[in-house]
Structure formats: C-alpha cells, structure tokens
Amino acid sequence: MSGRRWSWPRRNTPDQVRDRQARLRALPQWDPAHDFVWEWPLPAVQFAGMLEALTAHTVLPVSVVGPLRVTLGRYRLDDTGALVEEGRDTDELYVPLAHTEGGLSASMQRGMAAVLEGEPVRTHVVRDRMTRDSCFLFETTEEALTFARWATANAGEMRRWLHDPANLLYGQRVGGVPRLSRHARLWEVDTHVLGPACHLLYRYTTGDACGPNMITRNSFALNGEFVLPRLRAATGLQPERVLLESNMGGDKKPSAQYFIEGGHGKTVLAEVTVREQTLRRVLRTTARDLVALEHLALHGSHASGMQSVAFTPASAVAALFAATGQDLGMVGTVGGGTGLPHARAFLSLLRCDGPGAAIRLAQVVAAAALCLELSASAAASRDGSESFATAHLSSSGRQG
Amino acid sequence: MSGRRWSWPRRNTPDQVRDRQARLRALPQWDPAHDFVWEWPLPAVQFAGMLEALTAHTVLPVSVVGPLRVTLGRYRLDDTGALVEEGRDTDELYVPLAHTEGGLSASMQRGMAAVLEGEPVRTHVVRDRMTRDSCFLFETTEEALTFARWATANAGEMRRWLHDPANLLYGQRVGGVPRLSRHARLWEVDTHVLGPACHLLYRYTTGDACGPNMITRNSFALNGEFVLPRLRAATGLQPERVLLESNMGGDKKPSAQYFIEGGHGKTVLAEVTVREQTLRRVLRTTARDLVALEHLALHGSHASGMQSVAFTPASAVAALFAATGQDLGMVGTVGGGTGLPHARAFLSLLRCDGPGAAIRLAQVVAAAALCLELSASAAASRDGSESFATAHLSSSGRQG
Amino acid sequence: MSGRRWSWPRRNTPDQVRDRQARLRALPQWDPAHDFVWEWPLPAVQFAGMLEALTAHTVLPVSVVGPLRVTLGRYRLDDTGALVEEGRDTDELYVPLAHTEGGLSASMQRGMAAVLEGEPVRTHVVRDRMTRDSCFLFETTEEALTFARWATANAGEMRRWLHDPANLLYGQRVGGVPRLSRHARLWEVDTHVLGPACHLLYRYTTGDACGPNMITRNSFALNGEFVLPRLRAATGLQPERVLLESNMGGDKKPSAQYFIEGGHGKTVLAEVTVREQTLRRVLRTTARDLVALEHLALHGSHASGMQSVAFTPASAVAALFAATGQDLGMVGTVGGGTGLPHARAFLSLLRCDGPGAAIRLAQVVAAAALCLELSASAAASRDGSESFATAHLSSSGRQG
Amino acid sequence: MSGRRWSWPRRNTPDQVRDRQARLRALPQWDPAHDFVWEWPLPAVQFAGMLEALTAHTVLPVSVVGPLRVTLGRYRLDDTGALVEEGRDTDELYVPLAHTEGGLSASMQRGMAAVLEGEPVRTHVVRDRMTRDSCFLFETTEEALTFARWATANAGEMRRWLHDPANLLYGQRVGGVPRLSRHARLWEVDTHVLGPACHLLYRYTTGDACGPNMITRNSFALNGEFVLPRLRAATGLQPERVLLESNMGGDKKPSAQYFIEGGHGKTVLAEVTVREQTLRRVLRTTARDLVALEHLALHGSHASGMQSVAFTPASAVAALFAATGQDLGMVGTVGGGTGLPHARAFLSLLRCDGPGAAIRLAQVVAAAALCLELSASAAASRDGSESFATAHLSSSGRQG
C-alpha cells in the first residue's frame, strides 16, 4: 500500500510531466480526441513555477469591454500605515474578462456605456491590510489576558525587530526562500481574547503582491523568534499551543469582521452618478425603480443573513481575476499567477504593471464590478424585471 | 456623445473580433510581445458562443493529482423532489486543477495519499435545489399575507401548469430561446413576508445543468402568466411591483439561509476516516492536534462572524471549477462553460459527462476539497504550525 | 468544606425563608433601613411556587398607557399545525408597562395617539412553534444520515405515539409532574446533519403556556422511549451520545435561523398606516424623513452584523413582559410568572386571561412595540434628531 | 378626534394618577379583586420620577442565592481611556434574583456550591465603552470620505471641546437638564463610510451610570455645535441629513460588531476552574461530557447563525438586572431604575453602591451567570441530558 501511496509523480520535470500525461492517456475513459489539452500553446516552462504536478492546460475565452472611464486615486502609506491620497487620474480602460457566463460582458459593456454619458466612475481605497491570525492557547483566561497586554505593549518592538535590516533572518533561507520577507510590513498587532486563547492579529501591507506567503513567513518568524522567547523572559508564560492561523483574519472566507473593519485585502469604494435621462435611454430604467429595487433586495439580503448587499459583483471580480492571474479574494500585480504570460499581457493592457499597480488594479476591479452592478440592477429593477429575464433568454448578441 | 457610446463593437463576428483586437493593439500601452493573446490555440468559433465581445484568450496551467479514492452516491429524485440514494460506487479519480497557487496541488495530493492508506472518502448529496426569489410588493402587510396564503395554496397548481407538456409557452421563443425550460422542475414554492413585500421562493432542480438561466425563464413565466392573472382573478389583488430576483435565494452570495436550509445548488457531505498512524506518518500530525485546531479555529470563525467553519475549501473548489468550466458557486455538466473544449476533456477524465453527471461532479468537488482540508489542516495543526509555514516557504517541489 | 457547601438553605418553608433573611441581615453591609424588602405586600405563599430560595421581593412601578387601538386576529390550528385566521377583532386596550426607562411610556403613548387619528394597528400571527433541538452523535456521517432518514420517515409515528391518550407515560410522574404533557403538541420533526451529529428539531405548539418545560419533558420522553429503542430495532444504530438541547432551536438566544424560519415562539407581524398630516402634527416628522431614517439605519444595522432591523422594540417588549409575568423572549398566559397576583391583574386588564389568550397577548405586545417604534423613529428621523435628543434631555413630563 | 387624542392623562401628579386608576377601574373587564395593584407598598413618590403615566405597581419575588465566591478586578482608566487593573479583591456575595423561572435559582445555587469547593470565579473587565452612532449623509461618497478624514483629524479637538470645563453648554439647560453631561467622557471617534453616508461612532465611558441619556446629549451637542459649524468652515461641506443614532453602535440589539470589538457596555470575562471530583459529586457530570457538549452545541449555534455561544446566561442576567434596577443590556449603579428603593437595597447587599460600583456590578453579573452556565451545562451534558429534563420535571425543591 505504501508504495502505492507515492506512485503519482508530482514534480514538474519534463519526464514527470510526460509520465503523468501517459498515465492519464492510458485510462479507459480517456478519449484521444481530447489530447489537445497536453499541447502547450506556449512553452510549458512558463507555467511550471506556478503549481505542482503540472500536467495540462486549459484555455478560457476572454472578452474585452470598454472603454471604462474612471478616476482612480494614487496612494502612499503614511508612517502609521494609513493610506494617503496623493492625486487622482482619469483614464479610459479596456477591461479583459475571462469567463463563460452569457450576458455578463454585454451587461458590463452597457454599464460602461451609461458611464460614458456622464461623469467617470470614481474609486477610493480606504484600507489596505493583510492579516494573519495566530492563536496562543494558555491554561487560563488570566494568562491569555496577561499575554494580550504584553503583546499590545510590545507591538512597536515587534515592528522594529521585523523591519530591522540587520535582522539575521533576512539572510537565512529555507527551501531557497528567505525566512523573512521585506515586502510584508507590519503595522498593527491586535488582540482578541476568547477564554484561555488569545488571537494575535498581525496586520501587514504587502506592496504590489497579494502576499499570503509573505505574511505567513513573517508571522511564523515573529511567533517563534520574538513572541515566545521574549514573553517567557518577561513573564514566565509559555503557551500550551501556538497556531499560525486561526480564522479571525478572514483568509478566503468572508466574515462580518472583514465587512466591519477590513483586514484581508484592500477596501475600495466605487461610485458613479448617472443622470435620469441616461437611466432611461441606456439602462431602460428610472431612479425610482432602482431605489425600490435597492430597498427590497436589501431587506431580502438582510432577512436571509447575507453579509453582502450587492447584486452580482462576484461575477465581475472572478472574470477579471481569471484574466489577470489573481488568487481568490485578494489582488496583486506581482507573484503567483500574475506571472502567467497571458495575465501579464492583460495587466499591461490595464496599465497595472509597474510599482503601485496593485492598488490601481483593485480600483479597476471595483469600477468594472460597479458597471456590471449598474446594468444588472437596472435590468432587474423594472416592474416584472423583463430585461433581466430577456437577458437570460437571448444569446443573439454574441454570434452577431 | 451618443455616437461614442456605441463605438465599441460587441458582436462575435470575425470582423468585429478583429476590429476589437486592432483597436487594442493601437493603444499606446500595448506591447506587441503580448500578441500571443490573440492567437487561438483552437478555432475561435469554439468559444464564440460563451460570451459577448470575444477578443482574446487566456491559458491556465492545469495540474492533475490523484488517485482520489472515493465512494460516491447515485441518486434519483422521488416524486416530492427529494433525493433518494440508489446505490454507491467506489472509484479512483485523477483530479484536474486549474490554478496558480503554489502548494495547493501538492497539499491536495498529500491528502489523497493519506486517504489511500485507509477507507475511501465517502460523499452524500442531501439537497438539490436552485432558488429564484421573486418579490411581490403590495400596499399593505395584510395584502402580502393574503398573497402568501394564495401562493401556498396554489403551489401544486403552479407545478402542474409549468410541467404540463401542453403549456403553449414551451413552443414560444424569444431571441431563439424557448420561453420555458423543460429541465427546470419546480418542487416547492416557499413564502416569506417582510411587511408589505412577499418573497416567493421558487425551488427547482435543473438536471445536469447549473441552471440559472432556466430558473430565470421559468420564474419569469410563472410570475407573468400564472401568478399575476390568477391572483387578480381570485382575489382582486394586484401588486405594486414585481421583482424577479431579490436576494433571498442566495444567488452567488453566501447567506445564513443557505447554510441552514440549502437552496442554491447541491448540498454535499464528504467524510473520511484516517487512522492515527496515517496521521502521523503521512500527515505529520496527530488526532489530538487536529481536534485542538478544530476547536480553536471554530471559535475564531464564530467570533469573527464567519459563516464558514472550514479551512481553505474555496481554493480547491475554484481550481476544479476553472478546469471544468463551472459558473461561480454551482456545478453543472451541460451548458455554459462546460461546453469549452478543455472543460469537456477534463469532465470526461472525471467520468462526469453523461446523464447524472452533475450530481457526481458535485461529489467529486467535495471529496477533492476534503483532501485539501485534511492536508492543510494537518499542516496548520501542530504546535507552531511549522509545516504550514514551510509549505509557504518552499517551492522546491514544483520544479523537480 | 462539604458542610459549607450546603449551608445555604434553599427551600421555601417559612423557616428557611426566615433563616435566609436572618443571615442576610447579619451581613456587615446590610442596612436595616432596607428591611422593607422582607415585608411582603401580599402573602409570601403566593410567590413561593415560582422559584427556589424565595427570600425577598421587589416592587416595580407600572405605567399604563392607551388606548391602543388594534385589530387582532383570532386563530385556530389546522390539522397540519398551521395557523388559520378565524376572525378579527378591533379593541381599545390600556397597556401596563413595568420599567424604569424615562421617556418610554410617554413615547409609546404618543405613538398610540397617532394611531388614534387613523386606522387601528393590525396584527397577524404567521407562525407558532416551540422547538427543542436534540442532538444525536454517531460514529460517522453515514450513520447520522441514516438516522436522519429514519427520523424523517418516522415523524408521523412519533406524533401518534406522543398524542396517543393511551400512552402510559401520561400516567407516570417524576417529582409529582407527569412525564408527558398533553399541551405540547408535536407537528414537525426536522433534521440537520453536521458531520456525525444529527440535530433533531422537534417543533411543538404549547397552547396558552410559554411551554419550555413541556417541550423538554416530551422531547426527553421521545428521545428515550421512542427514538432510541425503535432506531436500534430498525437499524441496529445506537448513538454515542444524545443531548436534549443543542442550540439550533434558538432557546433564549436570537439566531439567523429564527429570523428566517421561526421556531421559538410566535411570529407576529404588526402594521399601521399613518397619514402625512398625523406624522406632521402628532409625530413631528414627515414620511420622507422616516423613509430616509429607515434606509440609513438599515444599512447601519446590516453593516454591523445586526440581525434586527428595528429601533427599540426590546424596551417595549421587556416592559410588557415584566408587567405580565413573562419568561424571556416567549409569551404565555398560563404557567410560570403569569401566576403572580399582579401579572394576573394586568393580563386581565388586557383581556388576556382565557383560552387563546397567549396568541392574543403576543399580538398586543407586537402592537404596543410598534407604537413605540413609530414614536421613537419619528423622534430620531428629523434632520439632526432634535426630538430624540430632547426626549433624553427632559424629564419634565413625569412629575407634572 | 383630536380631543380624543389627548384624553389619556400622562403626568404623575396625584390627581392624574388617581384619574388613570379610576378610568381603568371603570373598564368592564376590571375585577375589583385586583385592586391591590393600586396600593403602593411604599409611597408612590418614590417611583414617580422613573417613568411617565405612573399608575400601578407590580411585585416580583426575589430569591437570594450564595455565597458566590469571586475575585473581582478594580480598575481605573488611563489617559487613553483603557482600563488598567489596579488590584483584585476576593469576596463572598449573596445574589438577589427577581424572576419566575422555576429551577433557575436552584441551578445557580448548585453552580455556586461547585465553586465553593475550589478556586473562586475570576472576572476581568476588558473594555468599557458606550457608543452613539451618528450618521451624516452627503451627496457623494467622495464628500463622505472627506468628512471621515476631517472627523478623524479632529477627534482630539472634539474631546478637548467636550471636556473643557469652560464650555458654555455645561451651564445651559433644556427642560431643567444641562445640555452637556460631565460624566460621559469621549475617548474615540471612529468612522465607517457606506456610500454617501458616514457613520461617526462616538465612544464614551459613563462613570457609574449606564448612561444612554448622557451620551445622547453629548453627541447631539457635538453634532450641532462642533461638527457642523467647523466642518463647514474648514471644508465648505454641509451634510444633507444628520441622524443622531443609526444602529452601528449596537444600542439594545446584539450585533456581530459588538461581539468583535465591543462598544456598548462593559466586556467582562469570567472564568472558573472546577476539579473533576467536584464535577462528579456536585455537578453530576465529567469534564469529558462537558467538552462534548461544548463542541456539539457550538456547532449547533454556528449552524443556526447564532451570535452567542453560551447556554442560558440571559436568564441570569435578566434576573439580576430586574433585582437591581438595570436597563436592558447595560449596567449602571446610579441613575434610572437603580434609584428604586428595592434596587438600592439589593445593590447595597452586593456592595455595589459607592464609586466604581458599576464596574463591580458588571463583574458580579458575569460571575453569577457563569455559575448558572456551569450548572445548566452540567445538567445538559450527560448522555441523554437526564438531569436537565428532571430539573424541568420537578418543582419539589421549592415548597419544602
């Protein structure tokens, strides 16, 4: 059995890739008509660093819609890690969407057309943090509280230790990767005591990367090299158990906490003003209908315990993420899937490929999602929601 | 201005596709080194029916991991629409994952290796419904209650009308699409009164399709052709406003209601039993550590208002969905992106390409996600979570 | 130590009551000026059956406001346990409020005055269930699912067993109380499987009692005398653990589930229509201001993860409950605190003292709470909320 | 009609009290046997300042249980408003409970008996804030963001203005009440932007008072006298609408926000360690059973969207609140119902009647609730929950 266990090759050497392909071709259900999945349109080496057990590829169609007229903020971090707007740029962008949901592209396009008749979409980034929630379990609540007070008092020292260029861990490597990342900057260390457990919420910015790996490495180092030895020295306390991540940070799962105080990515507000005549002519609705929809659907959302109040932003976000190589629920413009050849092309199309691009991309995503919201809400808002239904009925717009 | 508005071509004729490409190439930021995004690895016509404004494509790497040993249920619907298990099959599957998250494939592979040492993963489908939440707004709560009682009393008649092969709407078409779908079968009509608004929750099964379009069409027809005329005839009531969808169904947005009573897709339970020695040898943890992790992270989840209690299933689900052409948050094996050439190949690899395949695919997704949960939780569970950290530190496994 | 443990007398014999009083008087902090708390305004025996360790009493002031003009429904249960409205009565009621919150009585009075200028408040009871959530823990999810299916299939038989007048448990007593209550009627048995645990949601009506004790007794008997032996006989299954109550029923703690599908008490809708001129003259606001308040405060509620969308109904409910001897969060008109002399007087004032009184009382509470909502919302709604502030500033109305 | 409207007298002059009583006696349903509700056991004047339309009284039985052995913290506020523990006191207290829930007093007594066999209950206060959430609505999100930044930058100045003894509003009175309260001290001003609305969360401490009126007055003054004129002067901005309270503060309604970050009252942690032999002998359970209960009921709570994870603390809290004159959901030891004669007696019994008493009372409530949790959880935890059931079956302990 145990030989069996390791029989599936998992490396990305040419031999192992071919080996996996050969085994799958030999399966009874495999149809040779599908062999095109093994034939890389670009050299496989361009994909091999992304994931383990690389075996095949998939191709998704990409629509491009636009122009999206949008005014975006430029931001810097002040010395408390707060975002300061340094200026605003108006741009017209063409937005790539990788997806297969009929109607989505046409609807977003319609929203962009409505925007073109008036003021641009305006976006604002109000928070930027990636949180790792490490949990320290003690014997008693009293010890957990003592720890929480100690951590609060030592938050500044943690930051200095982590950001000290002389910290020896920057030079140490595990598996070829430095033990500390210079890109994940620590700003706050919040605590939440639940009985004998104290959650330590390390809040970082991660530059232009999405950054889950960076904050994992830095938090692991903080836990083991700073918190445990100094806590013991200062208080004699030693936790029974330390977990690097324990859910309060909101990693890949929405939570009330994220909606209330942010903490897992960039919080962007997007806004647009549409004139009544544009509502009527382009969006085939009225302000009164939209207000009624918002009211009824907000109550529907609340009554069903839904944390979102929006209509269908997830479709827009997912399509833009798929085109630009994003991880789930967080944006970045360096690292991970953003290194894919096609992702780089589409990031470049959006002018999201230099320093500061991540915060720009987050705004583009929000603005595009707002255009879809505008159009989809308009379609749903008229009495009977006929436009919404016929958008689902008809596919005639696609083929020409 | 209005000429401007419609200037972006949105059809998928060869001319309009080329026109869009030409305009994007002419943008100042466009780098001809990226022109490969216009070059289709397969004829564009295979993608043109999926979305509007088709312009380019993207390529995602696909890992394949396995074998996933799993016992899956076979189900039929009884005459109340409840799922009845007809038998169970044990299979060994190779799972395609389209993604760019380093470590994910290796971690899921490790979970599958642990499963291979003992009993297979077992999956069960306990609910299958797609819900459209139409909202009927009246003048008073009393009218909304009268309507709710009328709708409850007429639910059986609604089903008969919809399922009647002689219903003339099956023969009528809008934009080339029949006004009613034979695949979306109505089972329950629930009501929820919020002041003067009554939400009507139409609950369907959708065969092997994911089905949002089907249920939209059928609900629109029910609202306009059954509910409004018969309500008026029976009670004299006429709503002030009818909205086809108003959020209580949980479309693309998680809600407490979905977790409590289902209603937007298939509810699958997946389970696996792992022996202590496998935990130690393959997963490098112990039952005691996993129990402690579950307890602390469940409290972390609850304390942050998180509706999920899991670790990272979304990563597994998204990767499998991207490989098999799924829409957000719902599975299907016919329609939409499942018609993509690569998606068809990967569905076939999973033997998810005949009748009943959707309910099988839902179980495969759940089983694969459980393998990732098992491995990722194990890595996070040991005191200090060193394995979790080093998985993030090291990328050595990928390149060989 | 163990002698110490039982040293506090806990019975309600005259000797033990006096003993407790004597010990408290002997405490150093006791001030004889407070001895009035021992002097019962009515014979202590009238209170002795309510609680253990009876020692003293407290006196709360009761305001009475009115008339509350309200149209209430009369209901019967049909043979599925659904409420059927049999008629409606319009009444003018004087509402007793035991509380100490300055402004509450005056504000509710103002709401009643506004109602008097137009149509009465209308109330409707849409659901009536008390739920006990027993949890059955098995070894595997598969067993829990088998159990869930068995329970669903046997729900009808459970009802027949419980309601069978020949059931021997009606004649058996523990501590002087019958093992089964005839008043708690079982209607549905819902299941919710969470891994190897299956929650069994027994849903009852409890007549005019609030009923937590009844449903506890009947559920305990069902678990032990019906479910366990018959499950074992039919399937060979034996749970590892059975818990009588495990939170999914919503006992004394609000939950999304309760808001979505009810299940712990009576769900009442109350509605009133107020003319614009009454809004202006009596409530000093306008419809436009109230709509704006509702919109902003609903978003505030949603954004903070609040399950309620109301303003301050809890104050009204608590004051009416305190006057009428109610338990937390559920109404009844027989049993428990409703036997207190003063509670009986105030229930009689509300004509809530015969058969069917509980469902009437629930509606009176809802109607009174709506009058407070109306007035408090009006005060808060004007730009700046001056009336809300001055209601808090001024106490001049009380003393005359 | 309008004469009708004001016909119910609402003042507390002896004449109007008698007038109300006379009208109620004249109602057809009034039974003279209930006339004892008009007969005040103490002079009515002692109650007349509490509420409007004083008409009658009610009497609730009070049990006293104890001794509750507890170690309580003493706290001061540092200059950021954070609580600093200055010392800890161990005390033995007798706890008054005004309620009518059979079994509650005996169960809490049993929990206290278990505590007496080991270490005292330990309590800690970790946060103390009362929040008023004022909402400022602007034309655009951009304006709301500008306002939020202005408010954040001016929070220190708001505090100085409010706390300045020379602020003229301290000398101004409305309805005999000063326009500003010296007891409500402002510490933080948080902002939350939701589209064009900015919520301003004023966070106060309120000394020994529960304080809703104080924070209302001070927030109203801040809004009108500081924020609006200075905002206009500094930015030219003028909100379309200002609401004094808009739900994000959590006033009388639980919210995820409160559980996550506190903000409406005192956050107290209570803890107790119980030896296995005490669990067995006094509480008739085992640690293993309690752990299993916690696990299953936590999942039940989470699965039903319940924000609480506890068993029945509300019963304990409500009974102690009713005995000590507390408002809903917040404790105080001066003001409001704490001025009732009986409440003063019971506060004195708990030694909660001097400076700093509110923070002591909050801890006593938490400790008493924990004793009930301990006993009730123990009763529910054994396989089958027989003790829980028989506690509901038997009332034999009360009468002796």
- The answer to which of B107-111, B345-349, D113-117, D172-176 has the lowest mean pLDDT is D172-176
The two tokens of residue B107 are 């971690």
Task: Return the amino acid letter for C28.
Answer: P
| pLDDT score of C314 more than 50 | yes
Q: Tokens 């089958």 correspond to what residue?
A: D384
pLDDT, residue A285, reads 96
Identify whether the C-beta of residue D215 lies closer than 8 Å to the C-beta of residue D251.
no
Mean per-residue pLDDT, C9-15: 92
Q: Which two tokens stand for residue B8?
A: 């972006």
With b for 16 or more beta-carbon neighbours within 10 A and e for fewer, the D11-38 pattern comes to: bbeeebbeebbebbeeeeebeeebebbb
- Chains in contact with chain B (at least 3 beta-carbon pairs closer than 8 A): A, C, D
Q: How far does D203 lie from chain A, in Å, by closest CA?
A: 16
**Can you list the alpha helix ranges (DSSP code H) found in chain A?**
2-5, 14-25, 104-116, 141-153, 155-163, 212-221, 228-235, 256-261, 276-281, 287-303, 313-324, 341-349, 357-381, 386-393, 396-399
Residue B371 near residue A91, CB atoms below 8 Å: no
Q: Give the model's pLDDT for residue B398.
A: 53
Give dist(CA C325, CA C322) in Å, integer.
6
| pLDDT on residue B386 | 83
Percentage of residues of chain D with pLDDT beyond 70: 96
Q: Is D260 in the A-facing interface, judged by CB distances under 8 Å?
A: yes
The shortest CB-CB distance from A142 to any of D122, D260, D261 is to D122
Q: Is C363 on the interface with B (CB under 8 A)?
A: no
DSSP code of residue A27? S
Give the percent of chain C with pLDDT over 90.
Answer: 82
D377 touches chain A (CB under 8 A): no
Nearest residue of A to residue B176, measured between CA atoms = A394
The tokens 């930051």 sit on which residue? A159
Q: Do A271 and D193 touch (CB under 8 A)?
A: no
Please count the other Cβ atoms lying within 10 Å of the Cβ belonging to residue D76.
Answer: 11
**Beta-carbon count within 10 A of C6 CB:** 12
Q: Which residues of B touch C122 (CB under 8 A)?
A: 140-142
Distance of residue B177 Cα from the nearest chain C Cα, in angstroms: 36
pLDDT per residue as tens digits for the range C351-361: 999 899 999 99
The angle subtended at Cα A130 by Cα A314 and Cα D267, nearest 5°, is 100
Contacts across the B-C interface (CB distance below 8 Å): 50
Query: What is the total residue count of chain C?
Result: 400
pLDDT at C6 > cutoff 60: no
Among the listed ranges A119-128, A249-258, B352-361, D160-169, which one has the minimum average pLDDT value?
A249-258
Partner residue opposite D305 with nearest CB, options A141, A145, A305: A305
* C-alpha distances out from residue C179 to B1, B263, C116, C213, C214, Å: 80, 39, 49, 11, 9
Of A193, A269, A273, the CB nearest to D193: A269
Min Cα distance B309 → chain D (Å) is 8
| Minimum Cα–Cα distance from C301: chain A residue | A302
Distance from CA of C197 to the nearest CA of A (A): 23
Our CA angle for C66, C72, C76, nearest 5°, is: 145
- List, as ranges, residues 119-178 from B with C-beta within 8 Å of C: 122, 124, 126, 140-142, 145
State whether residue B74 is helix, strand or coil.
strand
In tens, the pLDDT along C80-118 reads 999 999 999 999 999 999 999 999 999 999 999 999 999
The interaxial angle of helices B155-163 and B141-153, nearest 10 deg, is 60
- The answer to whether the Cβ–Cβ distance between C269 and B305 falls below 8 Å is no
Query: Confidence band (pLDDT; 50, 70, 90) for C329?
Result: low
Task: Please judge whether C113 and D194 are an interchain contact, meaning their C-beta atoms are less than 8 angstroms apart.
Answer: no
Task: Please write the tens of the pLDDT for every residue from D313-345.
Answer: 999 999 999 999 997 767 888 888 999 999 999
The stretch A301-316 carries a mean pLDDT of 92
Name the residue among A140, C6, B299 with its Cα closest to residue D273. A140
A280 has a pLDDT exceeding 70: yes
User: Touching check for D309 and chain B: CB below 8 Å?
Assistant: yes
Mean pLDDT of D80-105: 96
- Could you give the CA distance from residue B128 to residue B180 in angstroms, rounded to a whole number? 20
The owner of tokens 């109505």 is B186
pTM for the model:
0.95
CB contact under 8 A, B57 and A52: no
Mean pLDDT of C375-382: 94
On whether any CB of chain D is under 8 Å from the CB of A86, the answer is no
Distance from CA of B78 to the nearest CA of A (A): 28
CB contact under 8 A, B295 and D299: no
- Virtual torsion, Cα D212, D215, D221, D223, nearest 10 deg: -100
Nearest residue in chain D measured CA to CA from A148: D126
Alpha helices in chain B (DSSP H): 2-5, 14-25, 45-48, 104-116, 141-153, 155-163, 212-221, 228-235, 256-261, 276-281, 287-303, 313-324, 341-349, 357-381, 386-393, 396-399
For chain A, the 3-state helix, strand and coil shares in percent, each to the nearest 5, are 45, 25, 30
- Which of D133, D285, D145, D91 is CA-nearest to residue D219? D133
Tell me what the mean pLDDT of segment D359-367 comes to. 97
| Per-residue confidence band for D174, with pLDDT thresholds at 50, 70 and 90 | confident
Alpha-carbon separation of residue D378 from A276, D285, D286 (angstroms): 64, 6, 8
More confident residue, D49 or A144: A144
Instruction: Average the pLDDT over A24-33 and give the result.
Output: 96
Half-sphere exposure of C50 (CA within 13 A, CB side): 30
Q: What is the pLDDT of residue C346?
A: 97
Suggest the residue from A199, A260, A267, A291 to mutate for an interface test with chain D (most D CBs closer than 10 A): A260
User: Rounded CA gap, D158 and D151, in Å?
Assistant: 9
| Spacing of C-alpha B356 from chain mean position | 16
| pLDDT score recorded for residue C392 | 61
Max mean pLDDT range (B45-54, C365-374, D251-260)? C365-374
User: Which D-chain residues 4-63 have CB contacts (< 8 A) with chain C?
Assistant: 4-6, 8, 10-13, 16, 20, 23-24, 27, 29-31, 34, 36-37, 39-42, 47-63
Residue in the structure block whose two tokens are 């994220």 = A258
Q: CA-to-CA distance for D119 and D129, rounded, in angstroms?
A: 30
The pLDDT value given to residue D206 = 95
In this predicted model, what pLDDT tens digit does every residue of C227-278 receive, in sequence order?
999 999 999 999 999 999 999 988 888 999 999 989 889 999 999 999 999 9
Contact across the interface for A269 and D305, Cβ inside 8 Å: no
D400: pLDDT strictly greater than 70:
no
Tokens of B138: 């009246």
Buried b (16+ CB within 10 A) or exposed e, B53-84: bbbbbbbbbbbbbbbbbbbbbebeeeeebebe
Whether residue B260 and residue D295 make contact (CB cut-off 8 A), yes or no, is no
Which residues of D are less than 8 Å from B298 in CB distance?
298-299, 302
Strands D241-243 and D121-137: antiparallel
Contacts of A3 in chain B (CB under 8 A): none
- H or E segment at A268? strand A264-271
Residue D239 confidence (pLDDT) above 60: yes
Residues in chain B where the model's pLDDT stays below 50: 1-5, 395-397, 399-400
Residue D187 has pLDDT above 90, yes or no: yes
Work out the number of other CB atoms within 10 angstroms of the CB of residue D345.
Answer: 24
> Is A229 part of the contact surface with chain B (CB cutoff 8 Å)?
no
Q: What is the pLDDT of residue D250?
A: 85
